[in-house]
Chains A and B, each alone.
Chain A
Amino acid sequence: MKGNIIKYAQDNIDTDVIIPGQYLKVHDYAELATHAMEGLDPDFHSKVKEGDFILAGKNFGCGSSREHAPIALSHSGIKAILALSFARIFYRNAVDGAFLLPIEIDKDAYDGISEGDEIEIILSTNEIKNITKNQTYKMKPFSEIIGKIIAAGGLFKYKPDQD
């Protein structure tokens, strides 16, 4: 999986800035996507491209349990969030609907990757390759079941009986 980075070098990016409360009444996902990150970066919608990744600091997605947050990002074209850590409800929502990959990274990746860098996420080896800078970093592997839910395409497509 390859894409370019949109970097927000900050901690505690909350779900109220990812998708402000006034849009929780919007049920059309394409329209929801036009308001993604509006509370933090009003230019986000004009700069995001299909297949991009977001890079951020600690506690990404803290706050409200609104699943609208990963949905809005996913329908903007974002395929993965690379962050130092995630708030748990956001992480779970992202996986449940297979909206995007929540990838926990370390300080090396966080510092090493810059805005616009082209990145390849290699799930089979739990590596992140920075194609622009020719560097490789480790990512935290998904736990077994999270990996299976992602591979199945979300919670409702995952069949635990097959284990």
Chain B
Amino acid sequence: MGKTLFEKIWDSHVVVEKQNGPSLIYVDRHLVHEVTSPQAFDGLRVNKRKVRRTDLTIATMDHNVPTNNRALPILDQTSAVQIRTLEKNCKDFGIKLFDINSPNQGIVHVIGPQLGITLPGSTIVCGDSHTSTHGAFGALAFGIGTSDVEHVLASQTLWLEKPKPFEIRIEGKRKNPHAVTAKDIVLSIIKNIGTGGGTGTIIEYRGQGITDLSMEQRMTICNMSIEAGARAGLIAPDEQTFDYLRGRQYTPKNYESLVDYWKESLKTDNDAKFEKQYTLHIDNIAPQVSWGTNPGMTCDVTESVPSPDEFSKGDPNQKKGAEKALDYMDLKPGTPITDIKIDRVFIGSCTNARLEDLIEASKVIKEQKISTNVRAMVVPGSQMVKKQAEEMGLDKIFINANFEWRESGCSMCLGMNPDILSPGERCASTSNRNFEGRQGTGGRTHLVSPVMAAAAAIKGHFVDVRELDLK
């Protein structure tokens, strides 16, 4: 019987295989940031261990970094300590660090692919659940906790129970790909299979709806695999993948011979078997807006906020969850999504802050200003994205519309730096999680695509971007 792409990558990285238990897997790339690594480095010190492969370990700071003027000191002392601790740990253990002043600094999942560190067929881990982003390149990439970070630092390996392969087919063609985006595809998937729909699996996204997407759009899809509960998501590499990585700063010297090997080896066999399957037809899907407090609580922009009964389909816990979510979000069932007024807009995060996201969002503006009731910010995913966007003049388009144009980092996706919502504020956000308090205590998050967020900033409420001219 044939093998899936995931099984092929897995087999090529097994160091020790155990019957009825986890296998020891080799890790090709270990990405490190300042939040989930300090205790891991402390553990190495206590046990007098070194970092086994400093050449395969790359660090940056992204979660805590302020996104205002980088020349100013960091006011939050606990953030400053966490950032300085990473600097010290990288120096002590000999790890390459892209620090706060580096032109390569950025959200770890944005800079990996941009620098050519992310490669097809490789295994990539990071103490961050959105490591699944790198799966867009046909890498097996997943998030780990701090104990596992320590284990990988010390041994370059990880004990892992083999997840099950899950095929998600995206079929059809979007009528308006500028208005209906990769974000809307992945939110539709999570809405349909649920936040636990992928638990214990590695999703392989396949079909025309996937191969039609650019690399940056594929990253948006793989990024949110974790929101469906999957360990990782991946997409078989193709010419687009190879073109994207060609000639980047850390792309290997023998790249073309690697491409020949990848073309041969990195695809699911025709007779391979998936444990689970789901198909989404995208010909007629609408822009999506989350209304609740997990990414599965999402509906079309043309719909109204559902009642807990409609949403739960008879499951008492789902009903209770929806009631609680509506209470937290201060929404009434039956309210049209387009009637929901917003206070804040956040265009950023590892889900949607790459160059293409900013280009698409800027097309909505067309010399308009944001609504006087809205405060909106653009936080590019990396300093490189910021520079490229500025070279194209995108910063001026956003600034002229009264958006704040900021330095890169995780920012308001998770509220660890000063970019947070105040209690009760409602935000159209291009990030990945609408959990209670995620963007600041009492803050209310609606997950949307970059174009939907930009349009909401201008109108002051959600609009169906299919009605706009986005050429």
Complex interface: stretch among A45-53, A81-89, A114-122, A130-138: A81-89
Return the chain A residue nearest B35 by Cβ: A24
- Complex contact B43–A25 (CB within 8 A): no
Partner of A9, one of B81, B159, B317: B317
- Complex contact A25–B414 (CB within 8 A): no
> Complex Cα distance A160/B81, Å?
36
- Complex contact A58–B161 (CB within 8 A): no
- Complex contact A21–B415 (CB within 8 A): yes
Q: Sample 20 A-B pairs with CB under 8 A, ordered by A number.
A: A10-B324, A12-B196, A12-B296, A17-B435, A20-B415, A21-B414, A22-B415, A22-B416, A24-B63, A24-B416, A39-B435, A39-B436, A40-B436, A58-B317, A64-B433, A65-B36, A65-B129, A96-B148, A97-B147, A156-B150
With a cutoff of 8 Å between Cβ atoms, the chain A residues found around residue B39 in the complex are 27, 67
CB of A2 within 8 Å of the partner chain? no
Shortest C-beta distance, A44 to chain B (Å), equals 14
Most A-side CB within 10 Å, residue of B79, B82, B127, B437: B437
Shortest C-beta distance, B410 to chain A (Å), equals 9
> Complex Cα distance A66/B226, Å?
14
With a cutoff of 8 Å between Cβ atoms, the chain A residues found around residue B79 in the complex are 25
Query: Known contacts being A88-B200, A143-B161, is A155 close to B151, with CB within 8 Å?
Result: yes
With a cutoff of 8 Å between Cβ atoms, the chain B residues found around residue A21 in the complex are 414-416, 438
CB of B334 within 8 Å of the partner chain? no
CB of B400 within 8 Å of the partner chain? no
> Complex Cα distance A89/B232, Å?
11
With a cutoff of 8 Å between Cβ atoms, the chain B residues found around residue A17 in the complex are 435-437
Partner of A66, one of B36, B82, B296: B36
- Complex contact A16–B436 (CB within 8 A): yes
Mark interface residues in A1-15 (1 if CB within 8 Å of B CB, else 0). Answer: 000000001111010
- Complex contact A144–B21 (CB within 8 A): yes
- Complex contact A65–B128 (CB within 8 A): yes
> Complex Cα distance A27/B200, Å?
30
- Complex contact A25–B320 (CB within 8 A): no
- Complex contact A16–B414 (CB within 8 A): yes
> Complex Cα distance A26/B128, Å?
17
> Complex Cα distance A38/B206, Å?
40
CB-based closest 9 A-B pairs: A93-B145, A96-B147, A67-B145, A25-B78, A65-B143, A145-B21, A67-B146, A16-B435, A59-B196
CB of A154 within 8 Å of the partner chain? yes
Within residues 214 to 235 of chain B, which ones have a CB less than 8 A from any CB in chain A?
Answer: 226, 229, 231
A16-B435, A24-B416 known; 4 other A-B pairs, CB under 8 Å? A17-B437, A25-B416, A88-B231, A155-B151
- Complex contact A59–B229 (CB within 8 A): yes
CB of B18 within 8 Å of the partner chain? yes
- Complex contact B127–A59 (CB within 8 A): no
Shortest C-beta distance, B340 to chain A (Å), equals 22
With a cutoff of 8 Å between Cβ atoms, the chain B residues found around residue A66 in the complex are 35-36, 145
CB of A101 within 8 Å of the partner chain? no
With a cutoff of 8 Å between Cβ atoms, the chain A residues found around residue B402 in the complex are none
> Complex Cα distance A2/B379, Å?
49
- Complex contact B18–A65 (CB within 8 A): no
